[in-house]
A and B are shown apart, each in its own frame.
Chain A
């Protein structure tokens, strides 16, 4: 084993000694590359088609040339135009506000609970975990009917009442935040905290000064996941948002074109590209952290 890893010569195909497919033949490698190609096409092809269409002249909407043709930026202008009653630009601002507040509140409340769940033994701990998981399995429609009535009664169904969207969003973001953070916190080198406490820190001090900086990547990943959950929410936003609070998902779903019942595909694809590209960039940059956040508790590092 050591010989294989130390000799820099032709170590073709000799993967780690632990791997069982050590003597992988040519056929297996070819099959692996075909599989990888399928994976990449799976992930990219529909997204690619959205971007290509976003840059395609509206007169050539159904041109099926696989590469960009009739390239134009008009669709982006159309997407932001308010002439046909679409308020996509405003919706972007609303979604950002709602996303940031939701994330901040969910993180603030969630970090305490996650610390307790990851680090402390207390009575009813597993009941609390059960409640949080139950909340994450909760169907959104079951919230709509009662909240619809409640929000109507207290006058949140019109005007710029962001809280009507933020509060239900927190109920989805909070279980997600706690679950992800608990897994992250459980994986941290807590021996350092004990050393700090032996050196005279209180548990709170040890957490703030030693552990919090170490937890920063986990906190950041969790915040991204919480923000994405709020950004992507549609069902409740569609029911509770008003003209002044309409979110991007609602704006895109209800995009109207030049004629009624005619879908303005190219403009919608342009709007979809604008909404998606920031998320894609985040995914590309933080791919490792997001995957470990998604599978936290499973794989280390």
Chain B
């Protein structure tokens, strides 16, 4: 449950007669081989290359000697540049990209915590609404899928228009007596503009994953709770939450990783205005200024995300590797107990359908 990779439960082996399934091992490896080759070329090679690059010097003036350096080994200076704010043998002056590292780190973490918390609360609420029986369920689901389907670049432009100074957002807050805001440059307004746009776009997805978990909870559990006289709140805390915990944690993990690498929204909506330069934006800005420093920074971002994923999987109960897909017989499916037994983790990877690498 807690580890990412686990041994297959014994009862799943040898379900079918041996004669029909002989040679599965080799065939299985053969079928996944193309995928592994692809991922090795597209992902593993770049990661290794970036790590190698991060230990090389950027071309430019060496501040300590005043000489132009062509490159060469940099040791860990590209990393100390970001983490210890060292530019040469002095600390980085204000205004340089190196100086923005901690600002970018904190604002990215701020986006992550606020967005994900709001999405959990709203997603939970949306999911409980959609879990009722009502007419037009399909229409509501289609409506809620619209924010998910709109490309993030378009979402950013749409909210840029909504948050324009003469736009509808300022008009609406004016109706309740709030002064108009500069949503793309004011430090707080700009941060919340990004969070609002992000929450709008991704809460539906969160809600659908939670809904999938809710639908696996058998009705008789609630009937029993009702007979025992449980209040609505008790039912929610004692029954619903524990039973949706696994799919919820997986959804939270993937959303967290998504926001940690956020790029499209701040890049287009505020372009870093009001201190909204995210870590990913800083990497892109640095590419023009010094390629090897950018490699070091992208490696730092990669390690940060890997570390957060590790924490979630190790301690957060985000069971991302689903159990081996059980071949449930129709009889099994009718038993509600069995439905609860297999955690529904949904398809969090599909979150990337709209925000790949962003």
Q: Across the interface, name the chain A residue whose C-beta is closest to B20.
A: A197
Given A120-B28, A122-B28, does the pair A229, B354 have CB atoms closer than 8 Å? yes
How far apart sit A265 and B157, CA to CA, in the bound complex (Å)? 8
Judge whether B133 and A19 touch: CB under 8 Å. Answer: yes
A126: chain B residues within 8 A (beta carbon): 5-8, 321
Task: Write out, one digit per residue, whether chain A residues 25-36 have a CB within 8 A of any chain B CB (1) or not (0).
Answer: 000000010011
Residue B46 interfacial (CB < 8 Å): yes
Asked whether A288 is an interface residue with its Cβ less than 8 Å from the other chain, the reply is yes
CA separation between A296 and B143, bound complex, in Å?
A: 20
State A123–B28 Cα separation when bound (angstroms).
Answer: 8
Whether A175 and B264, one on each chain, are in contact in the complex, defined by CB atoms closer than 8 angstroms, is no
Decide: A142 near B320, CB < 8 A? Known: A64-B171, A117-B32, A126-B8: no
Answer whether residue B340 sits at the interface, using C-beta atoms and an 8 A cutoff. no
Tell me the complex Cα distance, A46–B198, Å: 13
Cα separation A287 to B325 with both chains bound (whole Å): 24
B289 interfacial by beta-carbon distance below 8 Å: no
A154 part of interface (Cβ distance < 8 Å)? no
* CB pair B157 A20 closer than 8 Å: no
Q: Contact: A40 with B24, CB < 8 Å? A: no
Does B223 touch A at the CB level, under 8 Å?
yes
Check A212 for interface membership: any CB of B closer than 8 A.
no
Given contacts A109-B34, A142-B298, contact A295 B347 (CB under 8 A): yes
Give the residue among B200, B209, B347 with the most A Cβ atoms within 10 A. Answer: B347
On chain A, the residues within 8 Å of B45 by CB distance are 146
- Of A197, A229, A269, the residue contacting B353 (CB under 8 A) is A229
Residue B352 at the A interface, CB < 8 A?
A: yes
> Is A36 within 8 A of B151, CB to CB?
no
The smallest C-beta distance from A222 to any residue of chain B, in angstroms, reads 10
**Which B residues lie within 8 Å of A20 (CB)?**
219, 222-223, 225-226, 235
Neighbour of A294 across the interface among B133, B168, B203, B350, CB < 8 A: B350
Closest-by-CB residue of B relative to A250 is B153
Return chain B residues, CB-CB under 8 Å to A226. 353
Question: Does A297 count as interface, using CB distance less than 8 angstroms?
Answer: yes
Determine, out of B67-75, B87-95, B109-117, B159-167, the stretch whose residues face the partner at the interface: B159-167
A18/B35 contact (C-beta < 8 A), A139-B357, A279-B150, A291-B141 known: no
**Is B356 in the interface zone, CB < 8 Å from A?**
yes
- Interface size of A as a range: 35 or more
Closest A residue to B125 using CB positions: A35
B301 close to A (CB within 8 Å) = yes
Shortest Cβ gap from A95 to chain B (Å): 10
A47 within 8 A of B: yes
Give every chain B residue within 8 A of A275 (Cβ-Cβ). Answer: 151, 154
Which chain B residue has the least Cβ–Cβ distance from A21?
A: B132
For residue A98, CB closer than 8 A to chain B, the reply is no
Chain A residues within 8 Å of B20, by CB: 194, 197-198, 203
Stretch at the interface among A67-75, A79-87, A128-136: A128-136
Contact B32 A112 (CB under 8 A): yes
Asked, given contacts A126-B8, A233-B357, whether A136 binds B24 with beta carbons under 8 Å apart, the answer is no
- A121–B222 Cα distance when bound, in Å, is 37
CB of B140 within 8 A of chain A?
yes
A121 touches B125 (CB 8 A): no
Q: Which residues of B contact A112 (CB under 8 A)?
A: 31-32, 34-35
Chain B residues positioned under 8 Å from A64 (CB to CB)? 167-168, 171
**B133: nearest residue on chain A (CB-CB)?**
A15
Residue A4 CB within 8 A of the other chain: no
Residue of A nearest to B40 (CB): A131
- A179 near B349 with CB under 8 A, answer yes
CA distance A297 to B305 in the complex (A): 25
- Residue of B31, B204, B215 with highest tally of chain A CB at under 10 A: B31
CB nearest neighbor in A for B295? A145
CB <8 Å contact, B32 and A116: yes
Q: Do A175 and B161 have beta carbons less than 8 Å apart?
A: no
B222 and A176 form a contact (CB under 8 A): no
Measured CA separation A252–B5 after assembly (Å): 42
Question: Which residues of A are found within 8 Å of B35, using beta-carbon distances?
Answer: 109-110, 112-113, 128, 132, 174, 178
Q: Closest A-chain residue to B39, C-beta based?
A: A135
Determine if A147 and B46 form an interchain contact, defined as CB atoms under 8 angstroms apart.
yes
Instruction: Check B158 against A234 for contact (C-beta < 8 Å).
Output: no
Q: List 25 A-B contacts (CB under 8 A).
A: A20-B235, A42-B200, A43-B204, A113-B31, A113-B34, A121-B21, A121-B324, A124-B29, A128-B35, A128-B36, A133-B321, A137-B257, A138-B357, A141-B298, A142-B299, A144-B284, A145-B53, A234-B358, A249-B154, A252-B153, A287-B138, A293-B350, A294-B209, A294-B346, A298-B213
Interface residues of A (CB under 8 A from B): 15-21, 32, 35-36, 38-40, 42-44, 46-47, 49-50, 53, 62, 64, 109-110, 112-113, 115-118, 120-150, 167-176, 178-180, 182-183, 185-187, 190, 194, 197-198, 203, 225-226, 228-236, 238-239, 248-250, 252-253, 255, 263, 265, 268-269, 272, 275-276, 279-280, 282-284, 287-288, 290-291, 293-300
10 closest residue pairs by CB, A with B:
A140-B357, A122-B28, A186-B325, A18-B219, A20-B222, A298-B212, A298-B344, A295-B212, A249-B153, A172-B356
Give me 12 other A-B pairs in contact (C-beta within 8 A), A42-B144, A131-B36, A276-B154 excluded: A122-B24, A126-B5, A145-B50, A174-B38, A176-B350, A263-B160, A272-B157, A279-B150, A291-B141, A294-B209, A298-B213, A299-B212
What residues make up the interface of B, taking CB atoms closer than 8 Å to A? 4-8, 12-13, 16, 20-21, 24-29, 31-32, 34-36, 38-39, 42-43, 45-47, 49-50, 53, 125-126, 129-130, 132-134, 138-147, 149-154, 156-162, 164, 166-168, 171, 200, 203-205, 208-209, 211-213, 215-216, 218-220, 222-223, 225-226, 235, 247, 254, 257, 260-261, 263-264, 267-268, 279-280, 283-284, 287, 291, 294-295, 298-299, 301-302, 305-306, 309, 320-322, 324-327, 333, 344-347, 349-350, 352-358
